[in-house]
Amino acid sequence: MEESYSSLRQLDHHDNSPIRVYLNQEPDDYPAHWHRAYEIIMPVSGPYNLMVDNDHYEVLPQEIIVIPSGVVHEIFAPESGQRYIFLIDQSVIYGMDGMTSVQHLFYPCVHLRLDGDQEMLQNASADLWRAIREREKGEALRNAAMVAWVSLFLIRLGRWLMQRGEGNQKDHRHDMSEVLLDVYAYIAEHCAEKLTLEGMAAYSGYSKYHFARLFREYAGMSFYEFYMRQRIRLCRHLLSEMDMPVTEVAFRSGFGSIATFNRVFKQYEEVTPTQYRRMKQTRRRNEGAGTQSEQ
């Protein structure tokens, strides 16, 4: 068990692709863990049993389960069977305009079932199989093609979740959803500023305690957790795309000290800001070398 579990963790941290695909067929259980990446599991043969956020899910062949970043889950594998596991870098998620404002709908997970929306499941499966075929072909622009197909899958799923929510909720819940979507967008845009639960409750028009309860119910996490995730997202962007000292990244992201920045960043990313930047630089060099060898 430990060998395959470690290999999946290595894939999460060190593979150079923004989307990693692993054909898993080991009869091994995975202990409670979480990823920085989004995880998609698509069984090909044999069921797959998971505990996600203390709830049990049995994922059958042809079904799909999506587990967002930071959600603790445990996996119980059958003695035989195969399943594809996708790990999707958050740069893919945040590279899509509007995804930040709807990603709360993915928490704690999304299970596309055979006895559910057949059209949605069929289209979603087709998107993922196209991404798998791109990976297996290994042609030029493979990563870009995989990102395109998986992005289409996530957009399709996000729209479906929004439509399903609007169809199943009463009018007052829909109104609350609209208010909270505006709050999510505001936090994402102003994450480098000092935001407080009290201030955002006032912005939403709800009392502090009512806002805190609604926020957790809809987002699947606390206000502070969502706020910090948006700030870490900004840090990743500045470390990856901007040539500035780590100290400046810390202050531009709203951290009052480099020590606090290092501690919080490592808490979420499991590496220091400097290590994260080096990993990104190594990834770019490897991708550049791969492109040149293909030409």
Return the CATH number at 106. Answer: 2.60.120.280
Q: Which of 178, 181, 277, 183 is nearest to 235 (CA)?
A: 277
Q: Which of 143, 167, 191 is the last residue of a domain?
A: 167
Residue 293 predicted with pLDDT over 70: no
- 194-199 long-range Cβ contacts below 8 angstroms, 24+ apart: 194/254, 195/227, 197/223, 197/224
Q: What are phi and psi of 63, to 5 degrees?
A: -95, 170
Residue 195: which domain range? Answer: 170-282
Q: pLDDT, tens digit, for every residue of 273-287?
A: 999 998 888 877 776
Do residues 131 and 254 share a domain? no
Q: What is this structure's pTM?
A: 0.59
Do residues 197 and 240 share a domain? yes
Do residues 148 and 185 share a domain? no
Q: What's residue 169's pLDDT?
A: 46
Q: What's residue 164's pLDDT?
A: 77
188, 230 Cβ separation under 8 angstroms = yes
226, 211 Cβ separation under 8 angstroms = no
Q: What's residue 59's pLDDT?
A: 96
Q: What are phi and psi of 207, to 5 degrees?
A: -70, 160
Do residues 187 and 56 share a domain? no
Q: Which of 167, 190, 224 is the last residue of a domain?
A: 167
Give the CATH number of the domain where residue 175 resides.
1.10.10.60
Q: What's residue 34's pLDDT?
A: 81
Do residues 276 and 193 share a domain? yes
Tokens of 207: 């009392």
Q: pLDDT, tens digit, for every residue of 117-173?
A: 899 999 999 999 999 999 888 777 888 999 999 999 999 999 998 887 654 444 445
Helix (H, G, I), strand (E, B) or coil at 247: helix
**Cα–Cα distance, 195 to 56 (Å, whole number):** 35
* Nearby residues of 163 by Cβ (< 8 Å), 6 or more positions away: none
**Residue at 292 is within a domain:** no
Q: What's residue 5's pLDDT?
A: 40
Do residues 180 and 163 share a domain? no
Q: What's residue 250's pLDDT?
A: 94
Do residues 148 and 137 share a domain? yes
Residue 3 predicted with pLDDT over 50: no
Residue 1 predicted with pLDDT over 50: no
Do residues 175 and 148 share a domain? no
Q: pLDDT, tens digit, for every residue of 5-58?
A: 444 544 444 456 789 999 999 888 888 888 778 999 999 999 999 999 788 999
Q: pLDDT, tens digit, for every residue of 229-267?
A: 999 989 998 998 888 899 999 999 999 899 999 999 999
* Nearby residues of 265 by Cβ (< 8 Å), 6 or more positions away: 232, 235, 272, 273, 276
Q: pLDDT, tens digit, for every residue of 191-206?
A: 999 999 999 999 988 8
**Residue at 122 is within a domain:** yes
Q: pLDDT, tens digit, for every residue of 66-121?
A: 998 878 889 998 888 999 999 998 788 877 877 777 777 888 899 999 998 899 99
Do residues 16 and 74 share a domain? yes
